[in-house]
Structure 1
Amino acid sequence: WCVQKCPYCDFNSHTTTAALPEQDYIAALLSDLAADIKRFHITRPLTSIFIGGGTPSLFSGTAVRTLLDGIRQHLVLDKHCEITLEANPGTVDEQHFAAYLQSGVNRLSIGVQSFSPVQLQRLGRIHNPSEAVRAVKTAQAVGFDNINIDVMFGLPQQSEAQAMADIEQAIALHTEHLSYYQLTLEPNTAFAYRPPQLPDEDRIDRRFERAKQLLQQAGWQRYEVSAWSRGQQAKHNLNYWQYGDYLGIGAGAHGKITDNRQNRIIRTAKPRSPKSYLQYFSCYSSAPLTITESHERIVGEDEKAFEFMLNVLRLTHGFQRQWIAQRGLIEENKVLPKLQQLAAKGLLIIGKEHISPTALGENFVNDMVSDFLE
């Protein structure tokens, strides 16, 4: 749920002014988890938990604690398990942050998006710049030592001064992680129906290069297309980009499970409507969801290479060659010719055990990935 829907957002979020059904939804999440554990025979420990949204920070610390306690009853958590909660600067205060920390959350992802009042208004955000700064500083003060902030560039009518001011303020907050990504106009959003005036690609590229210089000078390292860190990379997101497995629990949640016994990759999707989701899991039985309520599909042989490359080619330090077979379930000789073609263009470096993009390749990730579409 969200207080209001942002015009650029294509996530499964629903606006509400009513009280949230915290207890019912947490119970449904845990029933959902139990069903997936049974369905996929999950026994491995959890290395990360990501509570995303919507706006998870609309939930109380008590609800988050109940959820995490329930997860621990079903699965073992790695002793260094990263537990992230997304927070909107307009919905949190010191009391909320302290409660989340006490509940077991050890990482925050704060959706700042911009520090410009004009841009925040254009983006439909419910917070102002001072609330964004205060949210980060308050989280740091209560004890969070692993904080990400989201900042976008290429915003409607954004000037170079605004773009640089955003990145300078982000650096000044001394968080551990930064997600710095370009605004894209996604289908079925308000911006798609009424496209705003965006800077041209040349301006966007020049501003990104300048922002990259500022971040590098301040000690930040780029480890993925849109991810920067000062030593604490996002375990959860890395698992996506390294083509690991994950359970998707909740309304509209997506999951990925590798079935090595049958040499297949399974994609899952849960009911998008919170109402439908709650109705099903409130009377959960051992029976699997029907096709009208949920979706489960096997990744086709002709899709495997694209899906794998879509993730691993985003990593600036690249990936291990053995992952092609181990995680992608792909015979290397089926993709090696295309990888070699990209290397010949100066976009990739192919080592005996490792493949990584060149500095040039980092700027053409989408083009490289498209080569694996069939």
Structure 2
Amino acid sequence: MPKIKMTKNTASQPIASGGIKMPWAALPLLPPLALYIHIPWCVRKCPYCDFNSHTAHNVLPQEEYVNALLDDFAQDLNTVYNRKLTSIFFGGGTPSLFSAAALSYILKNIEAHIQFADEIEITLEVNPSTVEQENFVSYRKLGINRLSIGIQSFQKNKLQALGRIHDADEALRAVNMAHKAGFNNFNLDLIYGLPGQSLGDALRDLRQAIILKPTHLSWYQLTIEPNTIFWSQPPTLPEENTLWEIQKAGQSLLAKNGYTQYEVSAYAQSGYQAQHNLNYWNFGDFIGIGAGAHSKLSHPDGRIVRTWKTRMPNDYMNLDKTFQAGTKELTKEELPFEFLMNALRLTEGVDANLYTQRTNLDLDSLNKGRSQAEYSGLMQIKPSQLAATNRGQLFLNDLLQKFLN
């Protein structure tokens, strides 16, 4: 690839290796900083997917998109404030459609402008049908140290119902390749509540996943989202009683095999929680680059701002258009809900002091909603902790409603 040239209006602050020089000192309580990189193409759009993904046709515009990503990143460097990156996540779409050389080029250019934490977690999403053995070896060599493999199910009829383009053999092969390439930290994505799925079907998927010894499992219920094929052509899903049986039996099976649930749909072996996702749930900061990517960034003056990038890849790569599609500064009235919408997903919740550290608001600002939630049995009565009860985890939307102004 040619050397990247910044072609759109870029950040005016001078860039230096190890961060960006700022006219003010970094505040010690700014949250940790992560980076999300969105690759928006898939071989085929799945009927349940509401992510910003697009079917790949012919040859991907890999070089143009990589240039746009780095140009986009340059414009966000004025929000770094001397922080190191604690994690990077390549998501999609299907990032493994891009060559290892392209991913390496992205990482090298980013590291030239911002320091990586010593134990940085770098995750790549892969689909079983889009990878080869040599790719896994290359991914590991270039610094990617965690994979997230989109399995969804190991059963042929379930994969067909989901519109997946891989089969069970390819899924098993992908995991085997990950092990051989030296990945000792990887996630498997599985979905339950699939069309026609029984309790036995769901548990067979989980047992097969456990045999493969992933360090992390994302196990979540299929939901029908707007702007998907399933929304306009809904499949027949299991009844509520079956879903409840699947959830309870699956959680028990995972716990017995050493997978602790630490978030609504995340289970990990000890020490292998996804650091990138934990940063989200702890209301950390993140830069999002790529078509449709979102950012949440705190500033030394106390502002917390969410931004989002233009969704369509052709617009994103268009030199005459801006990357940013919108921005919103969170108000003090919105912050309690925004913080808890993330923190209460964690099964153990968070230290109550984190609320003040991340929002600059006193804990007293939560008093009204907190007392209502505790009285309703949705929130634990622990002054030093903000955490949902087991019932609150099941009815998280009801719990969060207590904190809407």
1:233 lines up with 2:273 in the alignment: yes
Listed one character per residue, the Cα deviations across residues 157-205 of structure 1 (whole Å, up to 9, x for unaligned) are 2112211111111111100000011111111100001111111222101
* Structure 2 CA distance for partners of 1:371 and 1:202, relative to 1, 3 Å: farther
Q: Which runs of 5+ in 1 are unaligned?
A: none
Taking only aligned residues, the RMSD between alpha carbons, in angstroms, comes to 1.5
CA contact (8 A) 2:199 2:245 kept: no
| Alignment-derived partner of residue 63 in structure 2 | 23
Question: Which amino acid is the alignment partner of residue 319 of structure 1?
Answer: V
Q: Once the 2 structures are TM-superposed, how far is the Cα of residue 41 of structure 1 from its aligned partner?
A: 4.8
Q: Once the 2 structures are TM-superposed, how far is the Cα of residue 332 of structure 1 from its aligned partner?
A: 2.0
TM-score (norm. length: structure 2)? 0.87
Counterpart Cα distance in 2 of 1:303 and 1:199: 36
1:13 lines up with 2:44 in the alignment: no
Question: Which amino acid is the alignment partner of residue 276 of structure 1?
Answer: D
TM-score (norm. length: structure 1)? 0.94
Q: Which runs of 5+ in 2 are unaligned?
A: 1-40
Figure out how many residues of one structure are paired with residues of the other and give that number: 364
Return the match for 1:244 from 284, 287, 292.
284
- Secondary structure at 1:64's aligned position in 2? helix
Q: Once the 2 structures are TM-superposed, how far is the Cα of residue 348 of structure 1 from its aligned partner?
A: 2.3
| Alignment-derived partner of residue 368 in structure 1 | 399
1:87 lines up with 2:118 in the alignment: no
Structure with greater proportional helix content: 1
| Alignment-derived partner of residue 328 in structure 1 | 359
Question: Which amino acid is the alignment partner of residue 349 of structure 1?
Answer: Q
Q: Once the 2 structures are TM-superposed, how far is the Cα of residue 361 of structure 1 from its aligned partner?
A: 2.7
Q: Once the 2 structures are TM-superposed, how far is the Cα of residue 255 of structure 1 from its aligned partner?
A: 0.4
Q: Which moved more, 1:98-107 or 1:296-305?
A: 296-305
Return the match for 1:257 from 271, 284, 297.
297
Counterpart Cα distance in 1 of 2:387 and 2:331: 25
Counterpart Cα distance in 2 of 1:149 and 1:78: 25
Question: Which amino acid is the alignment partner of residue 348 of structure 2?
Answer: H
Q: Once the 2 structures are TM-superposed, how far is the Cα of residue 346 of structure 1 from its aligned partner?
A: 3.0
Counterpart Cα distance in 2 of 1:264 and 1:156: 45
Counterpart Cα distance in 2 of 1:42 and 1:279: 29
Counterpart Cα distance in 1 of 2:227 and 2:236: 18
Identity across the alignment (%): 46
Question: Which amino acid is the alignment partner of residue 113 of structure 1?
Answer: Q
| Alignment-derived partner of residue 203 in structure 1 | 242
1:294 lines up with 2:337 in the alignment: no
Q: Once the 2 structures are TM-superposed, how far is the Cα of residue 304 of structure 1 from its aligned partner?
A: 1.7
- Secondary structure at 2:82's aligned position in 1? coil
Q: Once the 2 structures are TM-superposed, how far is the Cα of residue 102 of structure 1 from its aligned partner?
A: 1.2
Listed one character per residue, the Cα deviations across residues 37-96 of structure 1 (whole Å, up to 9, x for unaligned) are 13x253200000000000000011111110110110110000100000000111012111
Question: Which amino acid is the alignment partner of residue 289 of structure 2?
Answer: I
| Alignment-derived partner of residue 340 in structure 2 | 309
Question: Which amino acid is the alignment partner of residue 323 of structure 1?
Answer: L
| Alignment-derived partner of residue 370 in structure 2 | 339
Q: Which moved more, 1:151-160 or 1:16-25?
A: 16-25
Counterpart Cα distance in 1 of 2:217 and 2:401: 27
- Secondary structure at 2:369's aligned position in 1? helix
Counterpart Cα distance in 1 of 2:360 and 2:169: 48
Higher relative contact order (CA 8 A, sep 6+): 2
Q: Which moved more, 1:24-33 or 1:187-196?
A: 24-33
Q: Which moved more, 1:19-28 or 1:310-319?
A: 19-28
Question: Which amino acid is the alignment partner of residue 317 of structure 1?
Answer: E
Counterpart Cα distance in 2 of 1:93 and 1:372: 48
CA contact (8 A) 1:304 1:329 kept: no
- Secondary structure at 2:359's aligned position in 1? coil
